[in-house]
Amino acid sequence: MTPTNFARTLIYSCFLLCFASSLHAQSDEDNKRLLAVERRRFDAVIRRDTTLLTSLLDDSLTYIHSSGVVDNKKSFLKDLGSGRITYIFIIPEKVTATIDGNYGWIYGRANVRFKFASMTVNIDQYISFVEVYHLKRTGWQMILCHNARIENNAPYFNNAVPQVKAGSVPSIY
């Protein structure tokens, strides 16, 4: 390799390295923005803010609860808005976001306390979840949520329940 070709190769390599680094940094920022959307969604679920949720949930939403019950956007918002189900707190942990083009997915675990209007007791669950989002002109919208109960592995509920103010989502991001 001639000195000129070596210099050219070195310059191109540096350019590619800088370009790849900027893409990675942008991806980290995009992931943080997607996680912020998830945080807003959790807050809206706890506050039963169906107006905000209408903008964060895609019309084609499929929402699979840890019980196996499947909701669409309309039925999920109806149950939440009517008070049929009330989420008292959601404590997410080990949350990861990944983005590929106009699609992003989030997975993690959460301690969830909720109550059905027909019951007098709260239900505590430790769940794993996967959420898929689609980036549209108006922003990220969730198109899929799948929750699964994790048995006998709830760090909070097997021992002491954390002191969490009702209607709050502790920050872990």
pLDDT at 68 over 70: yes
User: What's the pTM value of the predicted model, to 2 decimals?
Assistant: 0.74
**162 part of a folded domain:** no
**46 part of a folded domain:** yes
Would you state the pLDDT for residue 167?
52
**163 part of a folded domain:** no
The three-state DSSP-derived secondary structure of 138-169 is CEEEEEEEEEEECCCCCCCCCCCCCCCCCCEC
What is the domain count for the chain?
Answer: 1
**166 part of a folded domain:** no
**For the domain that residue 44 is a member of, what is the CATH number?**
3.10.450.50
What tens digit of pLDDT does each residue of 1-34 get?
555 544 444 344 444 344 443 444 447 899 999 9
**40 part of a folded domain:** yes
Give the domain range for residue 23. 3-149
Range list of H helices, the chain:
3-47, 50-56, 73-82
How many angstroms separate the CA atoms of 91 and 157, rounded?
Answer: 12
**Closest by Cα among 91, 87, 83 to 164:** 91
Q: How does the average pLDDT of the chain come out, rounded?
A: 82
What tens digit of pLDDT does each residue of 36-59 get?
999 999 999 999 999 999 999 999
